[in-house]
Amino acid sequence: MATRVAVIYGGRSGEHDVSLRSAEAVIRALDPSRYDVRRMFIDKAGRWDPAPLVPEPGANPGIDVVFPVLHGTFGEDGTMQGLLELADLPYVGAGVLGSAACMDKELAKRACRERGIEVVESVTLRRGALDVAPVEQGLGYPVFVKPANMGSSVGISRAADRRELEAALALAAAYDRKIVVERAIVGRELECSVLGNDEPIASVPCEILPSRAFYDYEDKYLLDTAKFELPAKLPAETTERLRRIAVDAYRALECFGMARVDFFLEGTTGRLYVNELNTIPGFTSISMYPKMWEYSGLPFPALVERLLVLALERHAEKKATRFER
């Protein structure tokens, strides 16, 4: 009997269109002789088609496992994962805690620092108190301004002076009530894919070569001019150190299933900084999470299948947990 897979995609985030492309790639990778795919689309207003999941165990017949292909807010931040937990359905990717912690850039930094993992110095501001003084006194210029809870570089700006900083803060505040301002790192942008539950493994890393001032939304998805080095041209010791840190960060943030760990390698110091973790990375034709695994010996269809198996294994393991006296 074919495994019945519900693919949830679309959603209310600024990454809705990216989700559509990722979902189509995932669906194409599923062998129709082995998997029965059920599409569950969420439009930009949050309406489900054909019908929403019911948050009750046993109330969603015809679904063996869920593959949420939802990037950003209301999909990658723990909210969808909470719904799936209430429905008692196996699902691909991190749980509520890991999803929420990775989505919040400030909380992710805290968790990494607690484990001795280096992250870029930053200042956190709130929408109602966008004071430039802490940034200028603590970081100087240039800086990067980011909504704390957003992905695909949506709402991110580089600021080289006070005028640009004020504009960047206003833009980021349109996407989140919490804004993270980071010291700009001069160096290389690297990525590493991590896969697994209790025994995660890291792929060969890649390097991103942006065509613009930084790797923004247009460079990622619209211009098709960014370049990639796969594998990244690094000394063997640096590659192994990066892969080890990627797994450490994955564990520190309670990730399961998959995550892409993004790094900065500072040119003047050689220090590796964890930038962020994406718990539902892109699965488009240009997305690096599957490309890194393909280079590492795990083709796209096998990767998707492995993620479904990990979801089912984790759900079965959770069944051993008692919820009553």
The set of catalytic residues is 15, 152, 221, 260, 262, 276, 278, 282
Strand 187-196 with 201-202, pairing: antiparallel
Nearest to 113 by CA among 271, 237, 261, 248: 248
DSSP state of 19: H
Judge if the upstream peptide bond of residue 50 is cis by omega within 30 degrees of 0: yes
Nearest to 309 by CA among 196, 220, 161, 201: 196
Alpha-carbon torsion 16, 20, 21, 25, what sign? positive
Residues 6 or more apart whose CB falls under 8 angstroms from that of 321 comprise: none
The radius of gyration of the chain from alpha carbons, rounded to an integer in Å, stands at 20
Kindly report the number of other CB atoms within 10 A of residue 169's CB atom.
Answer: 21
The token pair at 263 is: 């790094």
CA 69 to chain centre: 11
* Three-state secondary structure call for residue 294: helix
Q: How many CA atoms lie within 13 A of 110 on its CB side?
A: 10
Exposed (0-12), middle (13-18) or buried (19+): which is 295, by Cβ within 10 Å?
A: middle
Single-letter residue type at 179: I
